[in-house]
Amino acid sequence: MLIRWEDLGTWTANAAERRIVTVSGYPVALPGQKQAARFLLTQEPGCCPGCAPRHPDASVEVEAHAAIPVGLGAMRLSGVWQVEGGSRYRLLEARPVDPPGWAGVTRRRALAAGPLICLAGAVVSGGARAAIEAATTVDLPSHAGGIASTSRMRSGQAFGPVSVPMRNGGMAAVCLAIVSDGPTHKLMSDGRLHPYRDPDPGELYAYSQVAFGRLQWMVQTQGLTIVTGSAGIRAARAGTASAIIAAEGADFLEGQPDRVDEAYKRWSLRHLQLTHYRVNELGDIQTEPPVHGGLTDTGAEVIRRCNRLGIVVDVAHGTFDLVKRAASVTTKPLVLSHTSLATRPSRFSRLIIPEHARLVAQTGGVIGVWPPQSVFPTMDALAAGMARMVDAVGVDHVGLGSDMRGLVGPSVFPDYDRLPDLAEALLRAGFSTADTGKILGGNYVRVFEACMV
């Protein structure tokens, strides 16, 4: 008997008590575990290691016959179904029906007669290179080179290579972002990043000045070209290496919208993410309890200033309520730079529901799909995740948001020299050369130009 996720909490699932059933999903085990005999199975992949939904009918407790690999993505399991209280479900004596990773790499479910891996070899690297060269490829956002590292910032340690892997892979431009709340958050025992202290007055502004200065130094020493307007983004092509100056979190404003103007003029800021890992003066975040009810009046004023100046507004990390108000305030397209879709995200998840994504798309904006291995274990799975976002919002509103060097766990897209592999995966997933180019940067270019004054 097949148990579907929509069956949980209904008579269908409860009537299967003690029967042999099959259920598919994503394993959630303790962070660092590669094999486990006890773990949770969820409908959607978690946004980080150990991430699990809190609602009882959003997961199944698995007790396997023997330890099962749990770090390779989706799996299909068979076992004895057990119901406790009509809302808590367990799968006992569970055994894999297929190898881990069998699902999650399908194209629109309409092409789901088999995994995309069956199409391997149908696309040659020449097609991938053509897709890359036909468009201006852009990554949003990026901390390439280790620009977000507070320890590097304090020690003056040299950055890792950025321009070389960009040129090798054909990545034309990246939104290089400082992290303005970096001194106030850290990885906690639950495997998540949380703020652990309040900043001192003026601390995050002062920190940002050092961070922006270091970013400018990295750009200069690595031979990157700074993009400040439409002409610059149009000139960025494969084989060159350009940077759009960005900030992940507007915490450096410290509630003062006029500092947006300063960052625009002094540091060439052209991409601003409103919030990050602390609830700031602009609004609420997905990973902490809400305080403001969404976007604040200060946040709305910051959006208006960005619209006037020519700065892309990024609503990543912001709550659904924040994005709703941001969409009503902005006169320019929004960006949600790095996330992926989930039907029922767990509490404090960084994943979003389709309605959340559509709010951004309705402004003419772009949603960047990110590549954590905990969400997408293979490049084909990442391409399938992008296809799923396309199904939700349309091919003109999807991009790549690698969060390069900023992810908590491993990435399936670890450096820019892997861009041809991602292009091939998108082509294997059924995208045309033109649509592949849109996803890999063309859509962001359109939004960037629309945001310029």
Average pLDDT on 114-129 reads: 48
Which has more pLDDT, 105 or 67? 67
What's the predicted TM-score (pTM) here? 0.78
Q: Topology of domain 5-103, per CATH?
A: OB fold (Dihydrolipoamide Acetyltransferase, E2P) (2.40.50)
Q: Topology of domain 118-451, per CATH?
A: TIM Barrel (3.20.20)
Q: Can you tell me the distance from the alpha carbon of 55 to that of 369, in angstroms, rounded to the nearest whole number?
A: 25
Convert the pLDDT of each residue in 134-177 to its tens digit. Answer: 999 999 989 999 888 777 777 777 788 999 999 999 999 999 99
Query: Has residue 111 got a pLDDT over 60?
Result: no
Query: Has residue 114 got a pLDDT over 60?
Result: no
40-44, 153-157, 340-344, 350-354: least confident range = 153-157
87-101, 275-289, 429-443: least confident range = 87-101
The reported pLDDT for the residue numbered 372 is: 94
What's the first-to-final CA gap in the chain, in angstroms? 59
For residue 141, cis peptide bond before it (omega within 30 degrees of 0): yes
66-80, 90-104, 189-203: least confident range = 90-104
Query: Has residue 112 got a pLDDT over 50?
Result: no
Convert the pLDDT of each residue in 310-345 to its tens digit. Answer: 999 999 999 999 999 999 999 999 999 999 999 888
**Degrees (nearest 5) of the Cα angle 103, 108, 111?**
75
Q: Can you tell me the distance from the alpha carbon of 347 to that of 435, in angstroms, rounded to the nearest whole number?
A: 33
The reported pLDDT for the residue numbered 45 is: 73
Q: Can you tell me the distance from the alpha carbon of 81 to that of 233, in angstroms, rounded to the nearest whole number?
A: 55
Average pLDDT on 15-20 reads: 85
The three-state (H, E, C) secondary structure of the chain, written as one string: CECCHHHCCCHHHHCCCCCEEEEEEEEECCCCCCEEEEEEEECCCCCCCCCCCCCHHHEEEEEEEEEEECCCCCEEEEEEEEEECCCEEEEEEEEECCCCCCCCCCCCCCCCCCCHHHHCCCCCHHHHHHHHHHCCCEEEEECHHHCCCHHHHHHCCCCCCCHHHHHHHCCCEEEEEEECCHHHEEECCCCCEEECCCCCCCHHHHHHHHHHHHHHHHHHHCCCEECCCHHHHHHCCECECEEEEEEECCHHHCCCCHHHHHHHHHHCCCEEECCCCCCECCECECCCCCCCCCECHHHHHHHHHHHHHCCEEECCCECHHHHHHHHHHCCCCEEEEEECECCCCCCCCCCECHHHHHHHHHCCCEEEECCECCCCCCHHHHHHHHHHHHHHHCHHHEEECCCECCCCCCECCCCHHHHHHHHHHHHHCCCCHHHHHHHHHHHHHHHHHHHCC
pLDDT tier at 427, thresholds 50, 70, 90: very high
Q: For a pLDDT cut of 90, what percent of the chain falls above it?
A: 66
Q: Which residues neighbour 226 within 8 Å (Cβ) at sequence distance 6 or greater?
A: 219, 232, 242, 243, 244, 245, 268
pLDDT tier at 98, thresholds 50, 70, 90: low
Domains of the chain by residue range: 5-103, 118-451
Convert the pLDDT of each residue in 276-303 to its tens digit. Answer: 999 999 999 999 999 999 999 999 999 9
Convert the pLDDT of each residue in 50-61 to its tens digit. Answer: 565 666 667 899
Query: Has residue 38 got a pLDDT over 70?
Result: yes
Convert the pLDDT of each residue in 193-243 to its tens digit. Answer: 899 999 999 999 999 999 999 999 999 999 999 999 999 999 999 989 999
Convert the pLDDT of each residue in 232-275 to its tens digit. Answer: 999 999 989 999 999 999 999 999 999 999 999 999 999 999 99
- Do the beta carbons of residue 290 and residue 284 sit within 8 Å? yes
The reported pLDDT for the residue numbered 119 is: 34
- Do the beta carbons of residue 344 and residue 44 sit within 8 Å? yes
Query: Has residue 108 got a pLDDT over 50?
Result: no
83-87, 90-94, 173-177, 302-306: least confident range = 83-87
Average pLDDT on 180-190 reads: 89
* Mean of per-residue pLDDT scores for the chain: 88
Q: Can you tell me the distance from the alpha carbon of 229 to that of 452, in angstroms, rounded to the nearest whole number?
A: 6
Residue 417 phi/psi, 5-degree rounding, is -70, -5
